Chains A and B, each alone.
Chain A
Amino acid sequence: MKDREEILVLEDVWKVYRMGAVDVMALRGINLRITKGEFVVVLGPSGCGKTTLLNVIGGIDNPTKGKIIFNGRDVSRLDETGMTYHRRKNIGYIFQFFNLIPTLTARENVMLAAELVDNPRGVDEVLDIVGLLDRASHFPSELSGGEQQRVAIARALVKNPPMILADEPTGSLDFKTGIKILKVMKEINLKEKITFILVTHNSIIAEIADKVVYLKDGEVERVVLNEEPLSPDELEW
């Protein structure tokens, strides 16, 4: 891969939390390079630092030490406002528990994100991509778990971000629905060339990734490139 294709570079990233009298080293010198359009799966057991890694990439938290270069710009020392605008312009989020606003319809939940950027994608267009256009006027309580997660994907997509971060997106879904969601994500990744970083503890999901980052005790244990990633349809767990 050439440097110009890199969307994200992490150089010696550390994150240390102070918990009472103890310093907890959540990330210990992470070095990582992610290229544009890659589907990356970060894999590791609970407490290995997966979410912390996602937080520092997504601009929710600043690293204690090290550099995070996003599209050639150092985002590791941004202030509160800077981090908010980084999230607004560059990042789409997908959560384990969907986190839709219950008082807004599917369309309105997507619109809420669309209103954040100057040139959003069409709300109906992204709902169509995730296959939910016909359910757009339903409230979250009227949608199944899988449908809610698809709305969440549409919400992430509508801002047209170069990168989408997904934290255990299938964690609260059954197997079949989980596969469907992964399929939607993978299709978007392939068609729209949007970089995905998916955090999970489910090692099976790693099969669909272009790159798998194994985390252990806050360190990158190894990075494996998948020459021939599987289609989500081929997964089983």
Chain B
Amino acid sequence: MRFVHTADWQLGMTRRFLGAGRVGQAVGEAQARFAQARLDAVAALGRVAGDEGAAFVVVCGDVFESNLVGPDVVGRACEALRSVPVPVLLLPGNHDPADASLVTRRADFVRRCPPHVTVLDTPGVHPVAPGVEVVAAPWATKRPLSDLVGDRLRALEPAPEGVVRVLAGHGAVDVLSPDERNPAVIGTAECRAALADGRVHYVALGDRHSTWQLHGEPRIAYSGAPEVTSHEETDPGNVLVVDVGPDGAASVRPVRVGRWAFTREHALADSDDDLAALDARLDALDAPERTALRLAVEGTLTLRQRARLDEITEAHAPVLAALEVDLSGVVTRPDDADVEALGLSGFAADAAQELAAAARDDADPAALDALALLHRLAVTR
């Protein structure tokens, strides 16, 4: 039996660094493209499911970013679900718990929801096909007071003969988040035990946005988000195609569906050559329109080099989906040539010297800015 394991679609999510529209306006261009990319990822995993002949797709929580997403997000999500050719099971997670505001119980969702979509909003065993059962451990509130997965597993008897059971759960596992104060952490020991005695045959988890499998037990896995959501993620953009039999034999295969990249780059800038290299690196970026780059620059620059750096980053910013430059590692030390280049005389030269000295010796950012401004004013004279 083959199915597709995915999670954490988080439809309706926005990212600040992708830019904002003004208050009351539509979101920025990159933001809109990113939102569309996340819907495209759903369509892509639907194609994967169809191509692979999967029996169903189970989404292990956080289908929506929040229960309070707008009707437009819900509507587009339903359209994307419609394109999936196999049954889809949606599990409420911590972002969209099955409380009174559950989005999949909302009228706008119910009206547009395709018939092959099932919402696993009640805990327990859901038969999805002959010989196939899904055990749902949905979140009923944002703050559960127990290990929901463990609770479900403890309530189970071993699966009947010939029946494949998949547990769909959501939350952090104890090996990744050893937080004793959090009662909802999923105990992997219980999962292993359940797998061992045949209560379930696969534990499909959501919440972690990077693809991850428990060491030594590939049947306990996080699929990760199908499209990247954060610079912190290590391996996002995948779905898991899982083959599992009633005997417990399983194979798990990640398939990439995401197309965006949230990347971090680190650059050393101490000379004009470094700056040129940085420029070349940025030029060489693949698919920059789908890349949100966090660039951390480090080094010591003269005033002119610093201006060059600013010029380089400003030139690349419009091409990238987002470019965040962290200049906290850059030290700007105006040298005498910087001051002389201003071509000043008289008290203006004195003032320039004073500002340069303050910027150099006291690392006074305001003095540096003032010097830069003086540069601009002197040049446009």
Are A and B co-members of a single complex? no
